[in-house]
Each structure stands twice: as structure tokens, then as C-alpha cells.
């Protein structure tokens, strides 16, 4: 069975930066599972997986445009310290969820002063060329329930906590 839209795909991966440093890996965890064609993974990787099947192994290089985008200096903002609860406890590297027109966004604290806290809304991997080593371990048709919910159920996916019948 080949990877196509509305198929559930599970894959093992190692993600490295251009210097070869490991950024993330599925090693020691369940493979990553997603519904193909729904934008659940970065476009460059999803495009390269199209048409592949179980046991296919590949190396994929993804440009920033096909990954997490280019860095945007407009995404860096100084926010008055008094807009934060527990502002005295905020340190560089902390991350917060914030709501904007596009939905929920994660921002990272990049500096602090007595008056303000500077945050960066760029994805941490924005502007990076990414390299993936991938092994496809499962390809199957998504159930109607998975398509309706927009995510997979079961191993590597979402559990709604329903009781097993029987």
C-alpha cells in the first residue's frame, strides 16, 4: 500500500541540523503517526513521503520554505513586564502559549530587562535546513472517525479514553 491522501502513516525518524546535530528522534519511542494530506507534518517531508510504502527508508533535506518557514524579525516583540503574572520568575528560554489571529502560538523568552520581556514567536527551527532519516513502518487507510477528528487513534495517535467494549 502506498502513501496517499487520507492514509495513516507511521514512521521512525531522526532529525538533524545542517551540522549533523540530532534535533529530534523517534528512537526509544513509538513511531510518529499522522494522516497524510492534512498538513500534520511539515510540507517538505510530507511531499517526499507521497507514494512510498512500508519499509521504505530515505534521507530527506527540507528547506526552510518547506519546513518551518524563514525567520521573521517582526515576530520578536518587547512586552511590558507588568503584562506577565509572576514576571520576576520569567527567565530566558521559557516558553508560553499565546492567542493571536492565527490561533494558539508558542513564544520563547529571548531576553529580559527591568521594564520588558522580549519574546520570539518564530518556530525554534524557522530558517533552518532540516535533514530527516526516515523509515516508514506502517501505511493504512484512515478510519472515518480518524478523518472526522483530524487525527489518528490508537498507538502513536490520540486516545479519547473510551472504555473497551466486551
Whether 68 contacts 128, CB under 8 Å: yes
Q: Model-level pTM greater than 0.85?
A: no
Q: What per-residue confidence (pLDDT) applies to 162?
A: 43
Band (22; pLDDT cuts 50, 70, 90): very high
Mean pLDDT of all residues in 25-49: 95
Question: Are 88 and 41 part of one and the same domain?
Answer: no
Q: What per-residue confidence (pLDDT) applies to 165?
A: 38
Tally of domains in the chain:
2
Whether 134 contacts 12, CB under 8 Å: yes
Residues facing residue 96 across a β-bridge? 107
Q: Which of the two residues, 86 and 53, has the higher pLDDT score?
A: 53
Band (87; pLDDT cuts 50, 70, 90): confident
Supply the mean pLDDT for the chain. 90
Residue 49 pLDDT more than 70?
Answer: yes
The whole-angstrom separation of Cα 53 and Cα 58 is 11
Band (98; pLDDT cuts 50, 70, 90): confident
Question: Are 28 and 80 part of one and the same domain?
Answer: no
Mean pLDDT of all residues in 72-92: 91
Least confident of 20-29, 71-80, 143-152: 143-152
Question: Are 63 and 111 part of one and the same domain?
Answer: no
Mean pLDDT of all residues in 116-120: 95
Percentage, residues of the chain above pLDDT 70: 92
Question: Residue 79 belongs to what domain range?
Answer: 73-120
Question: Are 11 and 63 part of one and the same domain?
Answer: yes
Question: Are 13 and 92 part of one and the same domain?
Answer: no
Whether 94 contacts 108, CB under 8 Å: yes
Question: Are 13 and 62 part of one and the same domain?
Answer: yes
Amino acid at each position: 500500500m502506498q502513501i496517499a491522501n487520507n492514509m495513516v502513516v507511521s514512521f521512525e525518524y531522526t532529525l538533524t541540523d545542517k551540522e549533523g546535530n540530532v534535533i529530534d528522534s523517534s528512537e526509544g519511542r513509538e513511531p510518529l503517526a499522522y494522516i497524510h494530506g492534512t498538513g500534520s507534518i511539515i510540507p517538505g517531508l510530507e511531499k517526499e513521503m507521497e507514494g512510498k510504502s512500508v519499509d521504505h527508508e530515505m534521507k530527506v533535506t527540507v528547506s526552510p520554505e518547506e519546513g518551518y518557514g524563514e525567520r521573521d524579525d517582526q515576530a520578536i516583540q518587547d512586552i511590558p513586564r507588568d503584562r506577565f503574572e509572576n514576571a520576576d520568575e520569567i527567565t530566558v528560554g521559557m516558553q508560553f502559549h499565546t492567542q493571536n489571529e492565527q490561533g494558539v502560538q508558542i513564544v520563547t523568552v529571548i531576553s529580559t530587562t527591568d521594564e520588558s520581556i522580549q519574546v520570539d514567536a518564530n518556530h525554534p527551527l524557522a530558517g533552518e535546513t532540516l535533514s530527516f532519516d526516515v523509515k516508514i513502518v506502517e501505511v493504512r487507510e484512515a478510519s472515518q472517525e480518524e478523518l472526522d477528528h483530524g487525527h489518528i487513534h490508537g498507538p502513536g495517535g490520540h486516545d479519547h479514553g473510551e472504555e473497551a467494549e466486551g
